[in-house]
């Protein structure tokens, strides 16, 4: 075999899985269809749990230059609440993902960008030729998720606004979350002063507004926050439907990880924590699969995945449901504006890392 493992997708899940395997002595090929550094539709908030997990993996340096987060301001109707959210960092996905890939390469991973891999459960194919590898890891994000979206699932959209066009209201260190009946918009300053804008919208709302730009403007105006000049005209990018459960987390000689293994709407900003934590949890199982394949390893991965991030995704589902009801959202924001302490259990959970199962080689 030319490679012990081929990893499809160099987002946080793929880069960390590749690095952890290389640290265990495996010969790993990591490919991504995009040219790096590349942007990605994302709120760009690496939460406290992700920060701690990265530090435990010896990857704390990838966050250098990120803007430390102190709080989140949630708007609903004309009300808003400010909740303390220490421990996280805002960092553009261009910078974060490229830094993780550099760490993977430093650990011995061979990285090729601008390369689209095809995978249908058999051999991984690059340029129509099969790749010689003992194990494949599918970390290609929502694109790699074979599940049908859940009914009513929202779709994501994002863009970044240049620092000069952004009102001072959107201060660094605060995450601004504007909510409305048709979706929500999150804004945060990243390391170079740009404002990252990421949103999740109902399909009908998006169509009714005429696209993500006008939809985001409508949601921000609805909570009375200052207008971002030219926001609607910026080159917005979209995502497939967000909430989906993968049918399988693996099969003969392959495993899925990160968003490719299932994803829940991003309101609580945990996707990167789930991606990094589950990639680290997969590595010891994939390393054993490289030594000797056994179908039981897929079941082991499914149960490890459930224990590692399954309950976290459940909490996020509950929060997303509350947000679907404007009455409940307004009530929650009213309660939080009077008693911010009520947010403590959710904030605590966002900052608590999952245990790393057998992560150190
Ligand atoms: C609107 C929105 C806001 C969000 N906000 C946050 C937030 O603030 N904080 C947070 O933690 N999470 C957030 N998330 C979630 C987060 O973006 C994802 O959970 C995270 O990026 C998952 O990482 P991943 O490595 O699994 O996939 P990705 O980061 O999507 O990486 C997948 C990679 O695979 C590559 N790829 C795809 N197909 C192929 C192929 N065939 N061949 C080769 N390469 C391929 C892609 O180019 C990509 O680089 C948000 C998501 C959305 C949509």
> Which residue has a Cα nearest atom 27 of ligand 1?
141
Residue matched to tokens 């959970």: 349
| Separation between Cα atoms, residue 147 and residue 247, nearest integer Å | 5
Ligand 1 centroid to 259 CA: how many Å? Answer: 7
- Using alpha carbons, list the distances in angstroms from residue 336 to 75, 88, 184: 11, 20, 18
Please say whether the beta carbons of 149 and 156 come within 8 A: no
| Separation between Cα atoms, residue 289 and residue 253, nearest integer Å | 7
Please say whether the beta carbons of 102 and 14 come within 8 A: no
Q: Count other Cβ atoms within 10 Å, centred on residue 135.
A: 27
Ligand 1 pocket member 213 (CB < 6 A): no
One digit per residue, the tens of pLDDT, for the chain of length 361 reads 589 999 999 999 999 999 999 999 999 999 999 999 999 999 999 999 999 999 999 999 999 999 999 999 999 988 889 988 889 999 999 999 999 999 999 999 999 999 999 998 888 999 889 998 999 999 999 877 666 777 788 899 999 999 999 999 999 999 999 999 999 999 999 999 999 999 999 999 999 999 999 999 999 999 999 999 999 999 999 998 877 777 789 999 999 999 999 877 767 778 999 999 999 999 999 999 999 999 999 999 999 998 888 777 777 777 777 777 778 888 888 888 887 777 777 777 767 777 776 555 5
pTM equals: 0.94
CATH of 3-149+242-351 given 3.40.228.10, 3.30.390.10, 3.40.50.2000, 3.50.50.60: 3.50.50.60
- Choice from 212, 275, 316, 354 to test ligand 1 binding pocket (greatest atom count within 8 A of CB): 275
Q: What is the pLDDT of residue 360?
A: 58
Q: What is the pLDDT of residue 359?
A: 54
Q: What is the pLDDT of residue 208?
A: 97
Which structure tokens are listed for 130?
């099969």
Preceding amide of 14 cis, omega within 30: no
Ligand 1 centroid to 334 CA: how many Å? Answer: 33
Ligand 1 pocket member 9 (CB < 6 A): yes
Ligand 1 atom at minimum distance from 115 CA: 43
Backbone angles phi, psi at 60, to 5 degrees: -60, -30
| Separation between Cα atoms, residue 184 and residue 76, nearest integer Å | 10
Which structure tokens are listed for 281?
């949890």
- Choice from 9, 96, 201 to test ligand 1 binding pocket (greatest atom count within 8 A of CB): 9
Alpha-carbon Rg for the chain, nearest whole angstrom, is: 20
Ligand 1 centroid to 79 CA: how many Å? Answer: 31
Ligand 1 centroid to 11 CA: how many Å? Answer: 6
Ligand 1 atom at minimum distance from 199 CA: 1
């Amino acid at each position: 075999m030319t490679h012990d493992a081929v990893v499809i997708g160099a987002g946080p899940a793929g880069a960390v899985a590749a690095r952890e395997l290389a640290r265990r002595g495996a010969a790993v090929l990591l490919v991504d269809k995009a040219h790096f550094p590349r942007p990605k539709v994302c709120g760009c908030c690496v939460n406290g749990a992700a920060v701690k997990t990265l530090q435990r993996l010896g990857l704390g340096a990838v966050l250098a230059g990120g803007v430390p987060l102190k709080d989140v301001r949630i708007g609903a109707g004309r009300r808003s609440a400010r909740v303390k959210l220490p421990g996280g960092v805002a960092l553009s996905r261009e910078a974060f993902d490229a830094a993780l890939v550099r760490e993977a390469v430093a650990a011995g991973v061979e990285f090729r960008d601008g390369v689209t891999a095809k995978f249908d459960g058999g051999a991984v194919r690059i340029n129509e030729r099969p790749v010689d590898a003992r194990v494949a890891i599918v970390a290609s994000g929502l694109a790699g998720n074979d599940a049908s979206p859940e009914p009513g699932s929202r779709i994501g959209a994002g863009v970044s606004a240049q620092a000069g066009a952004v009102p001072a209201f959107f201060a660094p260190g605060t995450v601004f979350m504007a909510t409305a009946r048709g979706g929500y918009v999150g804004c945060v300053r990243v390391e170079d002063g740009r404002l990252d804008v990421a949103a999740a919208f109902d399909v009908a709302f998006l169509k009714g507004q005429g696209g993500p730009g006008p939809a985001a403007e409508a949601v921000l105006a609805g909570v009375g926050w200052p207008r971002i000049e030219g926001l609607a005209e910026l080159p917005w990018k979209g995502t497939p439907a967000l909430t989906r459960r993968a049918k399988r987390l693996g099969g003969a000689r392959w495993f899925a990880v990160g968003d490719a293994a299932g994803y829940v709407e991003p309101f609580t900003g945990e996707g990167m924590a789930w991606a990094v934590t589950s990639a680290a949890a997969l590595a010891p199982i994939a390393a054993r699969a490289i030594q000797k394949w056994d179908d039981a390893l897929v079941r082991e991965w499914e149960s490890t995945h459930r224990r590692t991030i399954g309950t976290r995704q459940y909490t996020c589902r509950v929060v997303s449901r509350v947000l679907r009801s404007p009455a409940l959202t307004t009530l929650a924001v009213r309660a939080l504006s009077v008693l911010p302490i009520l947010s403590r259990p959710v904030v605590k959970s966002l900052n608590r890392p999952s245990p790393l199962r057998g992560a150190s080689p």
